[in-house]
Chain A
Amino acid sequence: MTHGYPTGTGAHPEPTPSVDVPRQRTAHPAPTAPKPGRDRYLDLLRSIALVRVVVYHLFGWAWLSVLFPSMGVMFALAGSLMARSLSRPALSVIKSRVRRLLPPLWAFSAVVLPLLFVGGWNPVKDPDNGGTWGLVELIDYIVPIGAPPYPWHAGTLSGLVDDSWADQAAGPLWYLRAYLWFVVASPLLLWAFRRVPWATLLAPLGLTAIVGTGLVTIPGETGNAVTDFGVYGSCWVLGFAHQEGVLAKVPRYAAVSCATLVMAFGLWWASGHLGEDGWDLNDIPLAQATWSLGFVVILLQYSPSWRELPGPLRRWDKVITLSNNRAVTIYLWHNLLIMATVPLIDLGYRLPFMQSERASSALDSTYTMWMFFLVWPLIALAIAAFGWIEDLAARRPPRLWPNGTKRNRAGDGSGAHAPRG
């Protein structure tokens, strides 16, 4: 196992939101092209996926990866949007995607790298990938052609956090690398999809069956990149199928039944290849690929194309809009923020009424729950502090709190509206 792609730990990096969130309804309509109608169903899926990722990284419950395969959903949604954009010249589309992706990453890197260095990390002397190469790989913090490297054990930052914090914080960055490669490969993939749709859809599964099952092992970061490409490639291409209307042409009974069979295969495969976290599909590439694909087929087959959220969901409207507008920010920062809850909660032990044995053991046993409650306000702060970079990257006027309400000009937002979730 090399850097950048840890597996098997409770809160390891996982997928994430599309970097590709298109413009929201906003007071400042996009300068180019008429505002495309938002499909609120897809927005809802993206929000659920985000919340699921945060909850999973917080509690580490393996079954969440089965309950809702967030990363598959995110890649499928991103693939769908990519296919829509590719009606324009491919090069400019890729450039615009990359341009939107990088600045938020730079902001993140600008905070994390100094912390790593303060924590005593010297990339030249890293046991996993030292030397000049280690230095070269730092480029991944600027353009993630690979997952950025980080030390397994970083300094504890004056004992405030566990020494695995770097793993926790930078681990999720592999998603950016996967996304970047999907974006670059998309013109070719779409070309292939239009000629041989089925073969293009299923080819990544085949790739996963070869490189994700130990049949062929590609070492290092290249291997991770190829495996991720295979595992989520089918979902990405499925996004094409959804966007191009191909999926809608398959009779629903056939799509759902075949998807169920593919998912059943995934579960069966998982049952025979359980990782150290049991049923955590993130550790079982072929199961993850098939389960995610089948799951997303069903989600997109029933895609109802809401212009507006239906009745009971409407009360979540602002949260969904906000999380879609700030998906990259939330994804990039959430794990670091989960880490940041620890020193905050530890302050609780110093409170005067917390000195009894019983009080502190009560805090011990409810610790994760406090982390869960605390991480959302922190995410809200991160949105306020760094979210506007997403707007700049998309060449939009920066907004502080883009939750879709009319008064969302700068100055309106405050950390008070933590996303519920």
Chain B
Amino acid sequence: MASRPRRPRAAAPPRDGLARRRLPMRLLLPMLVLVALVAMLMLRGYVHSEILADHRIQPEAATDKVPEKILEGGPVIDTRSGRATSLRVPDHRLVLTFDDGPDPTWTPKVLDVLAKHHAHAVFFVTGTMASRYPELVDRMVREGHEVGLHTFNHPDLSYQSDKRIDWELSTNQLAITGAAGIRTSLFRPPYSSFADAMDDKSWPVTEYIGSRGYITVVNDTDSEDWKKPGVEEIIRRATPHDGKGAIVLMHDSGGDRRQTVQALDRFLPGLQSEGYKFENLTEALGAPSALTPVTGPELWQGKAWIFLVRVSDDITGVLVVGLAVIGALVIGRFALMLLLSGIHARRVRRRGFGWGPAVTEPVSVLVPAYNEAKCIENTVRSLTASEHPVEVIVIDDGSTDGTARIVESLGLPGVRVIRQRNAGKPAALNRGLANASHDLIVMMDGDTVFEPATVRELVQPFGDPRVGAVAGNAKVGNRDSLIGAWQHIEYVMGFNLDRRMYDVLRCMPTIPGAVGAFRRSALERVGGMSDDTLAEDTDITMALHRDGWRVVYAENARAWTEAPESVQQLWSQRYRWSYGTMQAIWKHRRALVERGPSGRFGRVGLPLVSLFMVVAPLLAPLIDVFLLYGVVFGPTQKTVVAWLGVLGIQAFCAAYAFRLDRERMSHLISLPLQQLLYRQLMYVVLLQSWITAVTGGRLRWQKLRRTGAVAAPGGPGQRRRTHHAGDRRPVA
């Protein structure tokens, strides 16, 4: 979703002091947002058992270290303060226990059945489920049931360190407190069964948990309802013999619990008629309640926890929607681009295609130059080799490196030099326009090299009198470095997919500053170039659309340009582009409600451009956030496969664009890295522009606009001389 290449014009680094002072704030905000997002995702991962989940189960071990009386004793084991005693439930009392809940579907049904038969029970809830469904925990307590700990995310505690066990207990307790305002002193270990199943691995854990003040509750009969053995079988297994009391193990979570609910509905009245009472544990034992109300900071801690979990769930929901939106946008955009660029290529490559009568009239080429001593000779010589009759006007915008003198000393026929006090690129272009003798104007950068056919190809669309401006095809010359290859891919896709699409939709947002042609009459109608925005080329293109002109793409008008070679240069170039685009969209916002061609552009072009260039990149980081989360916390394989799938689509589109442009495919090898390193840079730049626009306020907007505008004319020349950045160019 990187912004598409438009003007291959490079970076005037933003005014140093300005950039340095503001950079931390601009970075701070996205960083804070990112950290908050990641924290929320992690929290959600915890309570959904995606993080820290441990599914190992200890195999059976020897029992020689477990006291005999425990192995033969009852299911309520008290190991507090060094004790080792156990209790049984008296005859004709049944304590139903439900593990692993609460579950949003089945727990309410279980509660309903219990209420219907006036029975009480004990629910051993996990921290994860209690955090997610606190209202159910609250209802349990309100309806007279007891709640016990079943750890936070259900690991086999015999594998865990004391620290982890403490964490499991305290976080589980925190969730229960937050949900129902109580503490519990009951605990049931995960994967536990009867008291005689205690072994040398689980007994030390039981002792440790006792030392933390909890009573461990295992069971007498196991309904094994999680195996879904049928209602009859559940009842048979749960029922104790000979009117004995029992603690019965059941589950209200972890899958379809229909059989459990149905079994309860028969089991309860059946045994009640035999004289059984269904009570919670302390009622059955005749002991004081295991639940104690909590007040003060502890309660608020619990409530805060529940709140945070809820927020993280909601935010994740929003993020998932955002991810779906961005996914749909990406795929939709690719589909649209493939379709429309195919149509465009087929249309303009049809045998006998022409825009109208061949254009042979001479052309004025404007070359605004600011400190282009290194490149200007190549640029001008490539123009004089043009197959089309041209008049070359180099406008020297107050260069200090003798750019003008170099051109003059070449002594080439048909090449004029105009000097002006440094006034910025729009002013230079306007001055060139005033001095141009012809009605067709080509604009290029001082570091760009044309092919002999470029000018001719560029002006052919003017055979159609409705065409007011033409965008050429800018190519990256220095494409063998990594950053160059990435930009090469970006340019080829930008020119062969995006621009063809915009051409067909008649809403091309930008004529690249490196290679574009204009009808003088069209320029004059919209008042020439303006320095209202940092992106005067986007600004003028939008103005032409609103004036009713067609803007088209000439694929064979190739111009070779030098792309920024360092991240810093690239950053400032793209920052100006994306901020300038936002300024231009804002400047032309009234088109949205106007009539005629302006209204058409305002209602089709502007929203499209805003969506693809301004809104979509805002959501793009979600892809990386989810990619990272998925790779680290799983499902790793699915995440990687999904990412590779999207990469495949990208590669297909890129390959199609390369084929349209007849480029060698070898540079596509750097596409995977581009997606991992370059794309992020592009959207971070755009986020920065957003932040500048939103937080900067009007004043800063103004200030930045002025400084940027004067820094603009340099083009790549300036980037190579960053030490000149301190030379303030006088404001026009």
Contact = CB atoms under 8 A, between A and B. Distances in A.
Interface stretch (B287-295, B389-397, B434-442, B665-673): B665-673
B670 A256 contact: yes
Contact of A254 (B486, B636, B669, B672): B669
B641 to A, nearest CB: 12
A253 B672 contact: no
B485 interface: yes
A251 interface: yes
Contact of A256 (B636, B666, B667, B673): B673
Nearest to A253: B485
29 contacts: A251-B480, A252-B480, A252-B481, A253-B479, A253-B480, A253-B481, A253-B482, A253-B485, A253-B486, A253-B667, A253-B669, A253-B670, A254-B666, A254-B670, A256-B482, A256-B670, A256-B673, A257-B482, A257-B485, A257-B669, A257-B672, A257-B673, A258-B669, A260-B672, A260-B673, A261-B669, A261-B672, A264-B672, A271-B636
B484 interface: yes
Contacts of B667: 253
A266 to B, nearest CB: 15
A290 to B, nearest CB: 16
Which range contains the number of A residues in contact with the other chain? 10 to 19
A254 B488 CA distance: 13
A320 B567 CA distance: 29
Interface in B632-675: 636, 666-667, 669-670, 672-673
A380 to B, nearest CB: 39
A373 B482 CA distance: 41
Contacts of B669: 253-254, 257-258, 261
Interface of A: 251-254, 256-258, 260-261, 264, 271
A252 B482 contact: yes
A179 B480 CA distance: 35
| 6 cross-chain pairs, A with B, having the tightest CB-CB distances, nearest first | A253-B485, A251-B480, A257-B670, A257-B669, A253-B670, A253-B482
Contacts of B481: 252-253
Contacts of A252: 480-482
Chain B contact surface mostly = helix
B203 to A, nearest CB: 26
A257 B486 CA distance: 11
B475 to A, nearest CB: 15
Interface string B664-689: 00110110110000000000000000
A254 B486 CA distance: 11
Interface string B603-647: 000000000000000000000000000000000100000000000
A41 B673 CA distance: 25
A258 B666 CA distance: 11
Nearest to A302: B482
Nearest to A254: B669
Contacts of B482: 252-253, 256-257
B54 to A, nearest CB: 16
Contacts of B479: 253
B565 to A, nearest CB: 11
Contacts of A257: 482, 485, 669-670, 672-673
Contacts of B670: 253-254, 256-257
Contacts of B673: 256-257, 260
Contacts of A254: 666, 669-670
Given A251-B480, A253-B482, A253-B486, 4 more contacts: A253-B485, A254-B666, A257-B485, A258-B669
B673 to A, nearest CB: 5
Considering residues B482, B666, B670, which has the most beta carbons from chain A within 10 angstroms of its beta carbon? Answer: B482
A167 B669 CA distance: 45
A256 B479 CA distance: 13
Nearest to B668: A257
A258 B482 CA distance: 11
A257 B667 CA distance: 9
B678 to A, nearest CB: 12
B116 to A, nearest CB: 53
A254 B485 CA distance: 9
Interface centre among A251, A252, A258 (most CB of B within 10 A): A251
Nearest to A271: B636
Nearest to B676: A260
Nearest to B674: A257
Nearest to A261: B672
A405 to B, nearest CB: 34
Contacts of A253: 479-482, 484-486, 667, 669-670
Nearest to A255: B482
B234 to A, nearest CB: 42
Contacts of A261: 669, 672
Nearest to B489: A253
Nearest to A298: B482
A357 to B, nearest CB: 18
A258 B668 CA distance: 11
Interface in B485-501: 485-486
Interface string B227-270: 00000000000000000000000000000000000000000000
Nearest to A301: B482
A226 to B, nearest CB: 32
A260 B636 CA distance: 19
Contacts of A260: 672-673
B647 to A, nearest CB: 12
A325 to B, nearest CB: 35
Contacts of A258: 669
A421 B482 CA distance: 32
Contacts of A251: 480, 485
A92 to B, nearest CB: 39
Nearest to B485: A253
A271 B479 CA distance: 34
A268 to B, nearest CB: 9
A258 B481 CA distance: 13
Contacts of B486: 253
A264 B673 CA distance: 11
A261 B644 CA distance: 13
A257 B484 CA distance: 13
Contacts of A256: 482, 670, 673
Nearest to B669: A257
A303 B479 CA distance: 19
A256 to B, nearest CB: 5
A134 to B, nearest CB: 41
A124 B666 CA distance: 60
A339 to B, nearest CB: 29
A254 B479 CA distance: 11
A43 B673 CA distance: 29
B142 to A, nearest CB: 47
A297 to B, nearest CB: 12
A261 B647 CA distance: 14
A266 B135 CA distance: 49
Chain A CB within 10 Å, residue with most, of B484, B636, B669: B669
Interface string B436-479: 00000000000000000000000000000000000000000001
Nearest to A256: B482
Contacts of B672: 257, 260-261, 264
A394 to B, nearest CB: 39
A257 B669 CA distance: 6
A271 B480 CA distance: 32
Nearest to A264: B672
A264 to B, nearest CB: 8
A57 B667 CA distance: 41
A271 B481 CA distance: 31
Nearest to B480: A251
A254 B669 CA distance: 7
A257 B672 CA distance: 8
A20 to B, nearest CB: 30
A415 to B, nearest CB: 41
B633 to A, nearest CB: 15
Contacts of B484: 253
Contacts of A264: 672
A271 B486 CA distance: 29
